[in-house]
Chains A and B, each alone.
Chain A
Amino acid sequence: MNFIMKATAASLATIVALSAPASAELTGELKINLDTSNPAPRATMEAMISRFQALNPELNITTTVIDREAYKTQIRNFLSADAPDVLTWYAANRMKPYVEAGLFEDVSDLWAEPAIAGSLASTKGALTLDGKQWGVPYSYYQIGVYYRQDIYEELGLSEPADFNEMLANCEAMIASGRKCYTIGTKWLWTAAAWFDYINMRTHGFDFQMEMARGEVKWTDPRVYETFENWGKLVRMGAFIDDHQNKDWQQSLPFVVNGEAGAILLGNFTVSPLREAGLTDDQLDFHQFPPITPGVALSEAAPTDSFHIAANAQNKENARAFLRYLVSPAEQTIINNGANLTQLPVNSAAAVDDDKFLKQGFEMLSTNSPGGVSQFFDRDFPAEIAQAAMEGMQEFMVFPDNLDDVLERIEAVREDSY
């Protein structure tokens, strides 16, 4: 492999593309850093790596799994000080600081290969900055309302067709002595899911993106409208108490015990809920209902990705690993209901025959005409995301502080764009 390493960058892509089908066994080292510390993703990744190892028995693979929240602060250290070859991270704006600092490897050459160019086209935009690609996706998932079907049936409720029905359902839920939605906002981002949906349903996808680019003041009347819709839920007591010091995992028992009817989160919620004992008859999924009539439905579908560190020692092995993990066969396995329970990024891969994955895939491919965003903290610049999510948490506890909250976020926006 050494002669390839010495080849010039321009010829490198073609050589690799030609030699890939021959797939000579890899040798040397491969260092992988993973943030998949939750049980199901961890097992999935470790199984995938061991399959890759089996194909390349001579390759010495070192895997480091870091706690998901801690990973977010450690990444900058290991990228510059002790760079792994391959690492997990998030698409869109979340990778921008590292791309700008030259810490992520440009992998546009991989995207030019026919095997990837055609089958990953749908997520290419999320991995593209400055016209180049900086990683490959391995999974994405829908976000929506996961609700206790059995409780809804007991109360005679059905999936809400619009926001008023959503509020009416919630009334009934509260009347039965339950909370409508569970949430844990200690790490802030869960509150942003609510903002994303209520904002996109109130004003549409394009407005959300204008906000992300900093073109709209946070004190704009339209932003107030979004928060007022959200406030209807907050003021009626739709959310569980004391969510500000729970993480999302700690908020799940409320759904499991039937103390709350539903949760708005990504599909990764399903696996812990199933493990806690909820069957597919008890748990169901629905799309976030429309709020303003006529606004096209849009969705948030965060894409998780693998990247190569610019300071990596074994970039060829790393590229081979990325090629392997986006292959249709691997995509089908790692995203199935027994593993990540998420959606495969490769169009040739099969979506698992899983209740939630089927609904999510259908929603994203047929019922999201407005557009698909990544997620609040991946679409908005880091500084705004931090200040805004903190404000959202405050709003969910003290809805009367709204003026103050929005002025504070606006001050950060003015400073940062």
Chain B
Amino acid sequence: MTTKSAWNITLAKQGWYKRNEIALTPWLFLIPGIVMFTMYVVFPIFQSFQISLFKWDGLGKLGTHGEYVGLANYEKLLTRDRSFNISLWNNLKWLIFYLVSIPAGLLIALFLNQAVRGIRLYKSLFFFPFVISQIVVGLVFTWFYDPQYGLFNGIIGFVGFEPINVLGDPGLATYGVIAAGVWPQTAFCMILYLTGLNSVDTEQVEAARLDGAKGMKMLWYVILPQLRPATFIAFVVTVIGSLRSFDLIAIMTNGGPFGSSRVLGFYMFEKSLSEYGFKMGYGAAIAVILFLIMMIFIGYFLWRTYQDEKAANQ
């Protein structure tokens, strides 16, 4: 009893902050983050919604130069704009084929997860594409695909195929760009899996081995379940990465040939900010749609994290 009242007396003597320290400190630490996030993420989201209701060239003030058009931008986007459809389909292609980097990353990680002399060097060489700039990756692949001098046509010519102009063919350009994107993304997934493999429980592996599991069975039933957190992160990061693909397209094809390799992000830029793009409202409408698509995945990601935390706390 005495100790408690003594405690209360000390509390009363202390200042307001000291008394509420436990409750306040986390918020204090959060303030910079919250301010930044509100200013640079939340606020622009609502601003995009607002701009998407206007016809505006993005140069003068929205209030004086903009013309309120309601949902006309969305109506045109969803019903009459073929470039938008192409971009949406290309986003879907990106989404699906970009995921190849997850199994590819796993494969390389399994391959590199051994104690050999110089393995650190090999690991860093495999990780290298993730370190270099996307712009450089794009340039390298552009030269690789070059119809006259490129290595790619040299290789397929050696096997007996006719040369093809990957980036100049409206049917192939997107796949060509995705392949360039998969290269660094594979390296990223590989690192995720390599760290995951470090924490694989050796006792379980030993036990499984005693029970006669090996090869694919070992991988599928023993290793992979333990790598689930890594797989989850790799999946989420790859999906979001595929939806924000932009730099590779800008450097490799500039959306071409004739707009066949655009994705929503690039189309948005082209409509609102590029050389001939003075339709800020229209661009904002594309941004909003891209945002809604992304929200599906981000929402799923948040929900899963929340569920995991809840399970961990029980």
* Chain B binds chain A: yes
Residues of B within 8 A of A386 (CB): 270, 275-277
Asked if A391 lies at the interface with its beta carbon under 8 angstroms from chain B, I say yes
Task: Decide: B59 and A390 in contact? CB cutoff 8 A.
Answer: no
Residues of B within 8 A of A98 (CB): 59
Asked if A369 lies at the interface with its beta carbon under 8 angstroms from chain B, I say no
Residues of B within 8 A of A391 (CB): 258
- The docked-state distance in angstroms from the alpha carbon of A377 to that of B278 is 14
Q: A386-B277, A390-B258 are in contact. Are A100 and B59 (CB under 8 A)?
A: yes
Residues of A within 8 A of B59 (CB): 76, 80, 97-98, 100-101, 103
Partner of B273, one of A76, A382, A390: A76
- The docked-state distance in angstroms from the alpha carbon of A1 to that of B147 is 59
Residues of B within 8 A of A411 (CB): 80
Closest partner residue, chain A, to B279 (CB atom): A383
Asked if B168 lies at the interface with its beta carbon under 8 angstroms from chain A, I say yes
Residues of A within 8 A of B253 (CB): 245
Nearest chain A CB to B283's CB is how many angstroms away?
A: 12
- The docked-state distance in angstroms from the alpha carbon of A390 to that of B261 is 13
- The docked-state distance in angstroms from the alpha carbon of A386 to that of B282 is 15
Partner of A245, one of B57, B82, B256, B277: B256
- The docked-state distance in angstroms from the alpha carbon of A102 to that of B60 is 7
Task: Decide: A382 and B278 in contact? CB cutoff 8 A.
Answer: yes
Nearest chain A CB to B269's CB is how many angstroms away?
A: 9
Residues of A within 8 A of B278 (CB): 97, 382-383
Closest partner residue, chain A, to B57 (CB atom): A97
Residues of A within 8 A of B58 (CB): 76
Nearest chain A CB to B275's CB is how many angstroms away?
A: 4
Asked if B85 lies at the interface with its beta carbon under 8 angstroms from chain A, I say no
- The docked-state distance in angstroms from the alpha carbon of A72 to that of B57 is 15
Residues of A within 8 A of B19 (CB): none
Residues of B within 8 A of A394 (CB): 170, 257-258
- The docked-state distance in angstroms from the alpha carbon of A234 to that of B30 is 63
Asked if A202 lies at the interface with its beta carbon under 8 angstroms from chain B, I say no
Nearest chain A CB to B248's CB is how many angstroms away?
A: 14
Asked if B76 lies at the interface with its beta carbon under 8 angstroms from chain A, I say yes
Contact code string A94-122 (vs B, CB < 8 Å = 1, else 0) = 00011011110000000000000000000
Residues of B within 8 A of A103 (CB): 59
Closest partner residue, chain B, to A103 (CB atom): B59
Residues of A within 8 A of B258 (CB): 244, 390-391, 393-394, 397
- The docked-state distance in angstroms from the alpha carbon of A382 to that of B58 is 14
Asked if B167 lies at the interface with its beta carbon under 8 angstroms from chain A, I say yes
Task: Decide: B259 and A245 in contact? CB cutoff 8 A.
Answer: no
Task: Decide: B57 and A101 in contact? CB cutoff 8 A.
Answer: yes
Nearest chain A CB to B290's CB is how many angstroms away?
A: 19
Task: Decide: A100 and B256 in contact? CB cutoff 8 A.
Answer: no
Asked if A385 lies at the interface with its beta carbon under 8 angstroms from chain B, I say yes
Asked if B50 lies at the interface with its beta carbon under 8 angstroms from chain A, I say no
- The docked-state distance in angstroms from the alpha carbon of A103 to that of B253 is 31
Contact code string A389-411 (vs B, CB < 8 Å = 1, else 0) = 01101100100000000001001
Task: Decide: A408 and B57 in contact? CB cutoff 8 A.
Answer: no
Asked if B165 lies at the interface with its beta carbon under 8 angstroms from chain A, I say yes
> Which positions 60-100 of chain A face chain B at CB distance < 8 Å?
69, 72-73, 76, 80, 97-98, 100
Interface centre among A100, A187, A245, by most chain B C-beta atoms within 10 angstroms, is A245
Asked if B254 lies at the interface with its beta carbon under 8 angstroms from chain A, I say yes
Q: A101-B60, A391-B258 are in contact. Are A245 and B165 (CB under 8 A)?
A: yes
Residues of A within 8 A of B279 (CB): 383
- The docked-state distance in angstroms from the alpha carbon of A54 to that of B19 is 70
Contact code string A253-266 (vs B, CB < 8 Å = 1, else 0) = 00000000000000
Asked if B65 lies at the interface with its beta carbon under 8 angstroms from chain A, I say yes
- The docked-state distance in angstroms from the alpha carbon of A234 to that of B273 is 33
Residues of B within 8 A of A354 (CB): none
Residues of A within 8 A of B307 (CB): none
Closest partner residue, chain A, to B59 (CB atom): A101
Asked if B305 lies at the interface with its beta carbon under 8 angstroms from chain A, I say no
Contact code string B121-150 (vs A, CB < 8 Å = 1, else 0) = 000000000000000000000100001100
Task: Decide: A383 and B60 in contact? CB cutoff 8 A.
Answer: no
Task: Decide: A242 and B254 in contact? CB cutoff 8 A.
Answer: no
Asked if B38 lies at the interface with its beta carbon under 8 angstroms from chain A, I say no
Residues of B within 8 A of A102 (CB): 60
Residues of B within 8 A of A397 (CB): 168, 257-258
Asked if A225 lies at the interface with its beta carbon under 8 angstroms from chain B, I say no
Closest partner residue, chain A, to B145 (CB atom): A245
Asked if B274 lies at the interface with its beta carbon under 8 angstroms from chain A, I say yes
Contact code string B155-169 (vs A, CB < 8 Å = 1, else 0) = 000000000010110
Task: Decide: B277 and A100 in contact? CB cutoff 8 A.
Answer: no
Residues of B within 8 A of A101 (CB): 57, 59-60, 65
Q: A382-B278, A393-B257 are in contact. Are A242 and B147 (CB under 8 A)?
A: yes
Residues of B within 8 A of A242 (CB): 147-148, 165, 168
Residues of B within 8 A of A385 (CB): 276
Closest partner residue, chain A, to B80 (CB atom): A411
- The docked-state distance in angstroms from the alpha carbon of A97 to that of B277 is 10
> Which positions 38-73 of chain A face chain B at CB distance < 8 Å?
69, 72-73
Closest partner residue, chain B, to A69 (CB atom): B275
Asked if A415 lies at the interface with its beta carbon under 8 angstroms from chain B, I say yes
Residues of A within 8 A of B57 (CB): 97, 100-101
Nearest chain B CB to A94's CB is how many angstroms away?
A: 9
Nearest chain A CB to B165's CB is how many angstroms away?
A: 5
- The docked-state distance in angstroms from the alpha carbon of A200 to that of B259 is 27
Asked if A217 lies at the interface with its beta carbon under 8 angstroms from chain B, I say no
A-B contacts besides A76-B273, A100-B60, A382-B275, 20 pairs, CB < 8 Å: A97-B57, A186-B254, A187-B254, A242-B147, A242-B148, A242-B165, A244-B165, A245-B167, A245-B253, A245-B256, A245-B257, A377-B276, A383-B278, A383-B279, A385-B276, A386-B276, A393-B257, A397-B168, A397-B257, A408-B82
List 23 A–B pairs whose Cβ atoms lie within 8 Å, in order of A's numbering: A69-B275, A76-B58, A97-B278, A98-B59, A101-B57, A101-B60, A186-B256, A187-B254, A241-B165, A242-B148, A244-B257, A245-B167, A245-B257, A382-B277, A382-B278, A383-B276, A383-B279, A386-B270, A386-B276, A390-B259, A393-B258, A397-B168, A408-B82
A residues at B contact (CB < 8 Å): 69, 72-73, 76, 80, 97-98, 100-103, 186-188, 241-242, 244-245, 377, 382-383, 385-386, 390-391, 393-394, 397, 408, 411, 415
